Amino acid sequence: MSKEVVLDCFGEACPVPLVKAEKALEKLEINDILIVQIDHSCAMKNVPEWARKQGHNVEIEEIDDGEWEVIIEKVK
Amino acid sequence: MTTGIQRSSSSTRRSPRKKKKNQIPFAIGLLIVIILIGIWLATKENHQALYWMLGLAFGFILQRSRFCFTASMRDPYLTRSTSVTKSVLIAFAITTIGFAAIKYGYFIQELAIPGQSYIAPISIATAVGAFMFGIGMVIAGGCASGTLMRIGEGFWMQVLALFFFVVGSLWGAHDYGWWMRNFMLAGKRVFLPDYLGWFGGVLCNLLIIAVIYVIAHKYGNKKSESELH
């Protein structure tokens, strides 16, 4: 059964969400899902870009005006 | 881009989707206010309305493109991503040509070239200052333009950054003369067209930018390739 971890990064300025996401994803197993919640627009660019570059599946959902969830599925 | 990640219901419930407010009426209102201020500024002084429009356009592009000078310097270290670095380099190349054209225009008309007082002497102060600024902007989460833009987006933490940015700027301006006399004047003012000619100066700048671009491009691609194996 794959795990799902929610990482609350609301109020954190870039690059803190990225660094946190990097560390959190390291601990996860393959097929686990990491949900990074952010409200700093800059992190909206570099978190998905970083995750896609690493080869993971990434989805972005705008949960409210200026608040997003980056959903990362660890594939390797 | 949809990859179809299946989320369990537990986490979806944890972040209940609020109904978003319709922002269109607000946008129309804001547009009217912007135009009214623009018309009012046009009656004041010649260039004010132009500055107003350029400022708004700059901010809009900065925000929509997620352009970030901080990220351009920081992300190569953090994630080896150089896409923002490359776009900043392209911006530098365009401004090099633009500024050279403006300055050359004044030069051939034998008018005083504008902006020459901004040519700072090259000294160790430049390197030390740049390094300190780099540390500051990464901690603050944005450079000057980035901080302003994100306050506009409603990211309140950076109001704090703006406050100390203002304090620091005032302090810097207050002691600027002392730093100038004791450190900066030790260096030499270099205006490339004086040494290489106008064409040579622009070419020199563009070549340096091109070399950094190629390095940034190769650096950015390196990791993704090695990780595929």
B34 shares its domain with B107: no
Residue B6's pLDDT is 66
Identify from A22, A42, A45 which residue to disrupt to test chain B contact, counting B C-beta atoms within 10 A and taking the largest count.
A42
Higher pLDDT residue, A42 or A34?
A: A34
Residues B105 and B35 in one domain: no
User: Is the pLDDT higher at B28 or at A25?
Assistant: B28
Residues of chain B found within 8 Å of residue A18, distances taken between Cβ atoms: 78-79
Number of Cβ within a 10 Å radius of residue B169 = 11
Alpha carbon B99 to chain centroid, angstroms: 16
Within this chain, do residues B26 and B47 fall inside the same structural domain, yes or no? yes
Question: Which of A37, A34, A39, A38 has its CA nearest to residue A57?
Answer: A34
Instruction: Give the per-residue pLDDT at B12.
Output: 52
Top CATH class, A4-73: alpha beta
Residue B91 tokens read as: 């911006």
Q: Collect all residues of chain A within an 8 Å Cβ-Cβ radius of residue B228.
A: 55
Q: Which amino acid is at B194?
A: D
Residues A41, B21: C-beta atoms closer than 8 Å: no
Average pLDDT (A51-56) is 86
Q: Which residues contact A10 (CB under 8 A, 6 or more apart)?
A: A37, A38, A39, A67
Average pLDDT over residues A23-48: 85
> What is the ipTM for the molecules in this complex?
0.73
pTM score, two decimals? 0.78
Contact B48, B57 (CB under 8 A): no
Domain that holds residue B89: 66-228
CA of B215, closest CA in chain A: separation in Å?
19
* Residue A66: strand, helix, or coil: coil
H helices, E strands: number in chain A: 2, 4
Residue A53 distance to chain B (closest CA, Å): 6
Are both B136 and B31 inside the same structural domain? no
Shared domain for B59 and B156, answered yes or no, is no
Mark the ranges of chain B whose per-residue pLDDT is less than 50: 1-2, 10, 13-14, 225-226, 228-229
Note whether B141 contacts A4, CB cutoff 8 Å: no
Closest CA to B112 of B121, B120, B122, B102: B102
Report the pLDDT value the prediction gives residue B224, as an integer from 0 to 100.
52
